[in-house]
Structure formats: C-alpha cells, structure tokens
Amino acid sequence: MTDHIGRGVTISGIHGLGGIGKTALALVLTHQLKDHYPHGQFYLDLQGTQEQPVPTLDAMLHVLRGFQPQLPQLDDANQVHSLYHSQLSDKRVLLLMDNAADADQVAPLLPPAGSLLLVTSRRDFVLPGLKPLNLDTLPRDQSCNLLRQVSDRDITDDDADAIAQSCGDLPLALRVAGGYLAMRPDTTPDRYAARLADEAQRMGDLSEVDRSIGLTFAALDDQLHDRMCGLSVFPQRFDLSAAAAVWDVDTPEADRSLGSLLQWSLVQWNDEASRYRLHDLVRLISERRSSPDVLTQAQRRHATYYAGLLQKMNDQYLEGGAAVVESLSWFDAERENIDAGFAWAQRRMGQDEVATQLCVEYPDAGAYVLNLRLHPQDWLSWLQTQLAAARRLADRRGEGAALGNLGLAYADLGDPRKAIEHHEQHLVIAREIGHLQGEANALGNLGLAYAHLGNTQKAIEHHEQYLAIAREIGDRRGEGNALGSLGSACADLGDAHKAIEHYEQHLAVAREIGDRRGEGNALGNLGSAYADLGDPRKAIEHYEQRLVIAREIGDRRGEGNALGNLGNAHADLGDTHKAIEHYEQRLVIAREIGDRRGEGNALGNLSSAYADLGDPHKAIEHYEQRLVIAREIGDRQGEALGSWNLGLLLESQERLAEAVAAMEVRVAFEREIGHPDAEKHAQDVEEIRRRIK
C-alpha cells in the first residue's frame, strides 16, 4: 500500500475470519496514513454480519454530516449520491468502512480521486480497482509472541504453542486467552492449555474464539459476568456514563468494572473517540450467555438512559447558534444507541410498562433533532407508535400530544385535511382533561391548517381563541406566535396594514422575552407585508434584519427563507439577476440541510426569474425539478401550485394541451380539499381548453 498519496482514488480491502484482527490492522493503517488525508478520516461499522447491515445511503449521510452537521435524513438516493461526490470532490479523505457485507454495499461509497477507501469484511468480494489483502491466521511464532505480550507471563514454547493451536492462531482468541492468564496468576499456562484442549473436545462445534471467551466468562465472578452480559445491549461504541446507567451503579463503580473487563480483554477502548466497544463476536457471545432477566433489565436501562440523553440534545438544540450544530453532531454520534433504545421500546410495547412509557417519551424528548434527522415516513412511524402507546397507558395528555405531533407531520407533507383531523382530536382531549396549554396548541395548529386550505376566516377564529388562552395562562411565546399567525391571516385577506399591526405586536413580545427565533419570524413577516404594500425597499430592510438573526442563532432554514424573500424583493425592483443570486443561495442552503420543501420553493422562484429574463426553456426545466421534489416528499399543495405555474408558462409557449394537463392538477387538488378558488381556476383551464379546439 505505497500509492496512497497519488491523485487517483485507492480502494484497499482487508478480508479474513472473525477475530483475525481486520479492524485492528485497519485502524493502525488509518493512523499511519491520516497525515496524507488532511480533510478528514471517517470510520463506520457497516454491520455486514448482522441481519440488517447499514444501508449505503446512511453510510453516505454519515460522511456528509462530518462536513454538514445540520444535514437531516434524506431518502433520494440520487440526491445523496450527488451530494456525497460533490462534497468529497477535490478533497483528500480517508474512509474506513469496517465489516462490509458485500460489493453492493460498498461500491457506491467509492470516493472521487484523491481519497482512500479502506474496507474490511469477512467475505471475499471483488470491486473494480480493489487492492485486496486477505488475512490468514497469524504465523505460530507471532501467535505465541502476542500471547506472551498480553498475558505478561513467562510461557514455555510448548505451552504457548498448545494455547495458540487451541485459539486457532486468531488474534481475538489469543488476546482473550492472554487476558485470562494476566488476571489469573493462580492458573499456570499448562493448566490453561489443557482446559482449552478439553473444551475443544467437549464443545467441538464452537469456534476457537467461542471457547477462549467461554473460559474467560467462566472465570468472572457473578457480578462481573452479569455486567459483561449487560454490555451486549450497546450496538456500537459507548461511554462510561452509559455503562454506569445500564448497570445502575455510580461512575466510579462502573469505571472499576470496565477496567477489569479491559484487563480480561473482553472490552476494547478507542483512545481517539474516548469510548468503549465490544468486538461483534464478543457482543454476540455476551448476549447468548446472558440470562433473560439480566438482558431485559439492561435493555430497559439502556432505552431509558438514551431517552434522557435525547432530551438533553433537544434542549441544547433549542439554545440556538453553535449549539444547534453541536446537538446534531451529538445525536449522530449516539444515533445507533438511540435507534436501538426506541426499537426495544417498540418491541416491548404493551408487555413492559416502562417500554410503553418510553414509546410516549422518545418522540417528545427529541422532537426538534428527530424532525431533522428522521426520514418523514420514519418520523410518522415513531409518532404512530407514540399514539398507540399513550392509548395503551390511558395517558390522555400523551395521546393528545401524539395527535398534535401527527397533525404537524401531515401538514408538513401537504395534507391539511389529515392534519385537521388529528388536531381536532387533540383539541377534544385537551378540553376534556382541562389542559389549557394543549388546547392552545391544538387551536393554533388548526388555524394554520385551515389557512393552508384557504379558509382564512376559520383560521382567524382559531388563532383568536389561541391568543386568548395564551394570554390567560401567561404563555408569552404562544401569545407572540398567535399574533404572528393572525397577521398572516390578515395578509391572506389582503389587509396588509392590519397584518403589520399584528406582526409588530409579535415583534414586541418576542423582543420582550428574548425570543430571537420569534423576533426573526416577525421581521420576515413584516418584510412580506411591506412587499404586499408595494414597498420592496422597506421589505428588504426587514428581510436583512431577519437574515442577521437567523445566522446569529444558527437557524439555517430561517436563513434560507430570508434569502428567498430577499430574492423576491429584488425581483419586484426589477433586478432579476440580483434575485437569482439570492435564490441560488437559498437553494444551496436548502440542499445542505435537506429542506426539500425549501429546495422546491427556490427552484420555483428561479423558474419565475428565468421566465422574466425571457429564457422559457430554463424556466420550464426548473419548474419540472420543483414538481419532482413535491411529488417525492408528498407535498400535494406544492405540486398543485408548481403544476399551475408550469402550466402558465407552457401556455405562453402555446403548448396548450400540456398546459391544461399541468393546470388540472391544481384544480383536482383544490376540489378535493374544498378550496374556495377551485371553480374559478377550473374556468381558467376551460378557457385554455377551448383555445385548443
């Protein structure tokens, strides 16, 4: 492996038996080569020996988040693949993909020229350009040296040879054997060799690693044995606090036990990450040797601990600014443990009261980070589990919260009727149990959903009730949000002056309580109101203030919205090139953070700008991309509006049949949801259809 510093891409593969030392060798190589790859070194266990290996898409996202921590879960394989190669282009990055399943899992991860992909696997497979290194068992003399090094004992050649043979010359088995001899000075090497040989005869179907680990487990006292078994609940790396939580002991006690297990060579330590891990074979054996009670208790504590950790991540996210990126990076580091905790709770829901309660708590604990990181359909699944669990527990408040969360999720997917259905159920429950905050939230969310349906009067009715309750219970943040929503409703009715009055009240409340996010939203809304009044310069003034706040608190979505609105204002001033500059910045941010709806809006705005420049072909191209996104994310409202705009452009090109087909999408959607403008738009389409005849 001497050509790693060339400009081409290098793919090196290490193949061998479980326990042969593939990962250890790969980590040594990574350390030795890291100076040649200054833009980053990434490690990921692809879990190729498990029933569900890591999807290639998730592996790409793992790398991308090293550069873009706020990037959420994406499901468009082509988009992720494009982002992956774009991000790594012209960089020198080392990627260690450990424990790969097969060539299909690894092939898409091949980075652009200049980087190194290092792969380990128990399976032998072929990739174009792969430089394979097949690890066999250690030579006998190296096996004996490793055994003496780990045990720090004087071992005769005959005894070392016998132990190495029983261990199959596998490094993992030899390390465990050495750890046993180091921890048991009362056991002579010849006696240990005899016990291994006896195990081989008695349990011939077990691997050398199984036999070596089995003897070590037998030597542990009951407490340490159970604690080792408990560690099998960690799917990946873990820290001292997590181990203490799983064992239900204080940190010093956990530290002592982990120290002992390190000496027994059952637990591994990663100095760079400052975290512990189990070799996958050790994890499987530990789980197999665990009693059902010990394992269930460990799983329960593990899931409870990570629900609490998820809440801390969410709280950090709400601090804004740099804390947003830090919280998302923290989530990424613990993602597999969080997923494992919630998955256990889902499996045990209805059988275990703690598990059922955790199904209610997890979605609320991490609402903000989960909404960014989970795929929309996965988020819906979490929320549906939350609802089912709350109903099993007869937890009416939890049931209401779950219904409200589901309503918001459906609203994000462009289904306002389904959103209303869930928010109304939430409202009934909140009133039934006298939960005023829940009632206020449900009313506010209902107002937003009715606004999406074009029923502005009903939206105002709900927002006014929301405002009254927020003031009654002293919820100043809610009061500000209600005022902002009322302003938007007035704007929808064409009363920009009344809208400004409400937005300014929202701005005053936000500044009074230090709600920087709310302040930014109010400023953005004020900008839109001044734009409606035909004052784009005053709109720009407010949009720029909104942009400053968004950047200050690390609100990338808000930053993108501000840039999009600035583009609209410059377009109103006739400066189309300046507008395009802002739209393109918004598009970049939307793609970076995975804001598919924002990406679609940016593409739609770019389409309008290119149409204004007299470039219909480029405009149509962007509208079509905008429609693809709307359909992929299930944004039916976005699809309807995008289709209509595309139809208008096609009409201007005298492509009337295509225009009708596109514009009918909006008519069908508005009729389905009962929008008041549906028949007016249907008449417009009919006029174009008559021109075809």
> Nearest Cα to 484, choosing from 455, 527, 442, 453?
527
Give me the pLDDT at residue 633, please: 66
Query: How many C-beta neighbours within 10 Å does residue 138 have?
Result: 20
Give me the pLDDT at residue 692, please: 85
In angstroms, the CA 388 to CA 121 distance is 40
* CA-atom Rg of the chain in angstroms: 30
- Report residue 37 as tokens: 């790859």
Residue 3 has pLDDT above 50, yes or no: no
List beta partners, residue 132: 13
DSSP 9: -
CATH code of 10-134, in short, is: 3.40.50.300
Q: What does residue 93 show for φ and ψ, rounded to 5 degrees?
A: -125, 140
Find all residues with CB under 8 Å of 373, minimum gap 6, and list them. 72, 73, 328, 331, 332, 335
Going by DSSP bridges, is the β-strand pair 10-15/130-134 parallel, antiparallel, or unpaired?
Answer: parallel
Residue 583 has pLDDT above 60, yes or no: yes
Q: DSSP readout, 73-114?
A: ----HHHHHHHHHHHHTT---EEEEES---HHHHGGGPPPTT
Q: What does residue 611 show for φ and ψ, rounded to 5 degrees?
A: -65, -40
Give me the pLDDT at residue 52, please: 78
Percentage of the chain with pLDDT > 90?
Answer: 44
Higher pLDDT, 435 or 109: 435
Find all residues with CB under 8 Å of 648, minimum gap 6, and list them. 659, 663
Q: What is the mean pLDDT of residues 329-352?
A: 93
Grade residue 10 by pLDDT with cuts at 50, 70 and 90. Answer: low
Which range in 61-75, 537-551, 651-665 is most confidently predicted, on average pLDDT? 537-551
Q: Are 286 and 228 in contact (CB under 8 A)?
A: yes
Higher pLDDT, 70 or 608: 608
In angstroms, the CA 127 to CA 112 distance is 15
Give me the pLDDT at residue 126, please: 62
**How confident is the model over 213-258, as pLDDT tens digits?**
888 888 899 999 999 999 999 998 999 999 999 999 999 999 999 9
- Average model confidence (pLDDT) across the chain: 86
Q: What is the mean pLDDT of residues 88-96?
A: 85
**Where would I find the H helices in 203-321?**
208-219, 222-230, 240-247, 251-263, 280-289, 292-317
Give me the pLDDT at residue 226, please: 95
Higher pLDDT, 318 or 216: 216
- Report residue 327 as tokens: 């919280």
Q: DSSP readout, 261-274?
A: HHHTTSSEEETTTT
Residue 107 has pLDDT above 70, yes or no: yes
Give me the pLDDT at residue 581, please: 96
In angstroms, the CA 336 to CA 583 distance is 36
CA distances 614 to 105, 219, 235, 477, Å, are 46, 81, 57, 46
> Nearest Cα to 605, choosing from 636, 647, 563?
563
Percentage of the chain with pLDDT > 70?
Answer: 89
In angstroms, the CA 334 to CA 340 distance is 10
Give me the pLDDT at residue 358, please: 97
Q: Are 420 and 408 in contact (CB under 8 A)?
A: no
The owner of tokens 């989970």 is 374
Give me the pLDDT at residue 1, please: 34
Grade residue 4 by pLDDT with cuts at 50, 70 and 90. Answer: very low
Q: Are 602 and 629 in contact (CB under 8 A)?
A: no
Angle between helical axes of 456-473 and 436-452 (0-180°, round to 10)? 160
Give me the pLDDT at residue 693, please: 64
Grade residue 565 by pLDDT with cuts at 50, 70 and 90. Answer: very high
> Which helix (H) or strand (E) element contains residue 502?
helix 496-513
> Nearest Cα to 409, choosing from 456, 443, 376, 455?
376
Q: What does residue 674 show for φ and ψ, rounded to 5 degrees?
A: 75, 35
Grade residue 7 by pLDDT with cuts at 50, 70 and 90. Answer: very low
Q: What is the mean pLDDT of residues 59-69?
A: 82
Give me the pLDDT at residue 169, please: 80
Residue 135 has pLDDT above 80, yes or no: no
Find all residues with CB under 8 Å of 448, minimum gap 6, and list them. 411, 459, 485
Angle between helical axes of 189-202 and 171-183 (0-180°, round to 10)? 130
Going by DSSP bridges, is the β-strand pair 94-98/116-121 parallel, antiparallel, or unpaired?
Answer: parallel
The angle at the Cα of 477, spanning 472 to 480, to the nearest 5 degrees, equals 85
Question: Taking the mean position of all CA atoms in its chain, how far away is CA 293?
Answer: 32
Q: What is the mean pLDDT of residues 149-168?
A: 88
Grade residue 53 by pLDDT with cuts at 50, 70 and 90. Answer: confident
In angstroms, the CA 198 to CA 571 distance is 84
Give me the pLDDT at residue 452, please: 80
Q: What is the mean pLDDT of residues 352-369?
A: 93
- Report residue 149 as tokens: 């090094």
- Report residue 279 as tokens: 């070799």
Give me the pLDDT at residue 516, please: 84
Query: How many C-beta neighbours within 10 Å does residue 461 have?
Result: 16
In angstroms, the CA 105 to CA 423 distance is 42
Give me the pLDDT at residue 469, please: 97
CATH code of 140-291, in short, is: 1.10.10.10
Q: Where in the chain is the domain with CATH 1.10.10.10?
A: 140-291
